[in-house]
Amino acid sequence: MSFLLVALLLILSLAACGSNNGNDSSTGTSTGDNSSSDSGNNGKAANDSGSSNAASGKEVVIKFPSYKTGNNVGAIFFLPQIERFNKKFAGKYKIEIEEIVQDEYSKKIKLLYQQKKLPPLIEVDKELADIMINNGDLLDLKPYIDNSPAIKDVLIDDSVKYNTDKNGKIVSLPLAFERPIGMYYNKQLMQKASLTGFSDTWDGFFSDLDKLKAAGVTPLSLMTGENGWTTMLLASAMIASDPEGQQILTKGDIVTNFNSPLWINTFTKVQKLLQDYTTKSALGATYSIAANEFFSENTAAIANGPWMVADFSNTDKAAEGFADNVGATIYPGGVALGSADGYWYSIPTGTPQGEVDGLIEYFKFIYSPEELNAFLVAEGGFAPKMPMPEESKAKLNPIMRQLNDEVGAKMKTLNRLIYDIVPQSVADLFAKNLPLLATNDMTPEQFCKAMTDTAEKFKK
Amino acid sequence: MYKYNKLWVYLFIVPTLLVFVTFYFVPIITVFTTGFTEWNGFNPPKLVGFDNYKMIFTDDNSLTVSLINLFKWSMIATFIHVPFGALVAFIIFKRPVGWRFVRGVFMIPNVIAVSAWAIIYRFIFNDQMGLLNNFIRKLGFSNFHTNWFFDMKYAFSAISFTWVFYAVIVTLLVLSDLMAIPKELHEAAKIDGATEAQIHWRINLPLIRGSLGTSVILSIIARITMFEAIFLTTKGGPGNSTYNISVMLYDGIINYQFGYANAVATIMIILGIGVLIITTKVFRMNKSVYN
A106 — pLDDT class (breaks 50, 70, 90): confident
Whole-number Å distance between alpha carbons of B227 and B250: 9
Whole-number Å distance between alpha carbons of A417 and A218: 25
Answer whether A135 touches B (CB < 8 Å): yes
Q: Identify all chain B residues contacting A453, using CB atoms and an 8 Å cutoff.
A: 59-60
ipTM of the complex: 0.78
CB-based contact A213:A291 (threshold 8 Å): no
Per the document, the length of chain A is 460
Q: Identify all chain A residues contacting B15, using CB atoms and an 8 Å cutoff.
A: 11, 14
Mutation for B interface: A283, A424, A443, A460, most B CBs within 10 A: A283
Please indicate whether, in this complex, the C-beta atoms of A281 and B147 are within 8 angstroms of each other.
yes
pLDDT score recorded for residue A12: 39
Q: Could you count the other beta carbons within 10 Å of the beta carbon of residue A320?
A: 8
Give how far A368 is from chain B: nearest CA, Å.
37
Burial of B199 (0-12, 13-18, 19+ CB in 10 A): middle
Mean pLDDT of the region B163-181: 91
Q: For chain B, give every domain's residue range.
A: 74-110+164-283
Answer whether A101 touches B (CB < 8 Å): no
Please indicate whether, in this complex, the C-beta atoms of B254 and A442 are within 8 angstroms of each other.
no
Whole-number Å distance between alpha carbons of B236 and A209: 33
Answer whether A5 touches B (CB < 8 Å): no
CB-based contact A430:A258 (threshold 8 Å): no
Secondary structure E strands in A277-324? 299-304
Per-window interface: A 171-230 vs B, CB < 8 A: 224-225
Q: Which residues pair with A326 in a beta bridge?
A: A186
- Pick the closest to residue A7 from B12, B22, B19 (CA basis): B12
Q: What is the pLDDT of chain A when averaged over all its residues?
A: 85
Q: Identify all chain A residues contacting B145, using CB atoms and an 8 Å cutoff.
A: 280-281
Please indicate whether, in this complex, the C-beta atoms of B11 and A428 are within 8 angstroms of each other.
no
Whole-number Å distance between alpha carbons of B171 and B212: 10
- Pick the closest to residue A307 from A186, A180, A154 (CA basis): A180
Residues in B whose CB is inside 8 Å of some CB of A read 7, 11-12, 14-15, 40-43, 55, 59-60, 126-128, 145, 147, 149-152, 234-239, 251, 253-258
| Percent over 70 (pLDDT), chain B | 98
* Distances in whole angstroms, Cα of residue A363 to Cα of each of A65, A356, A359, A374, B179: 16, 10, 6, 15, 69
Please indicate whether, in this complex, the C-beta atoms of A428 and B238 are within 8 angstroms of each other.
no
Tell me which DSSP letter residue B181 carries.
S
**Any idea which architecture B74-110+164-283 has in CATH?**
Orthogonal Bundle (1.10)
Give A116-153 pLDDT, tens digit per residue. 899 999 998 888 888 899 989 999 999 999 999 989 99
pLDDT score recorded for residue B291: 59
Q: Identify all chain A residues contacting B21, using CB atoms and an 8 Å cutoff.
A: none
- Pick the closest to residue B102 from B169, B170, B168, B162 (CA basis): B168
CB-based contact A350:A43 (threshold 8 Å): yes
A192 — pLDDT class (breaks 50, 70, 90): very high
* pLDDT score of A213 more than 90: yes
* pLDDT score of A21 more than 50: no
**CB nearest A460 (choices: B40, B236, B238):** B40
Q: B283's torsion region: left (phi>0), alpha (psi -120 to 50) or beta?
A: alpha
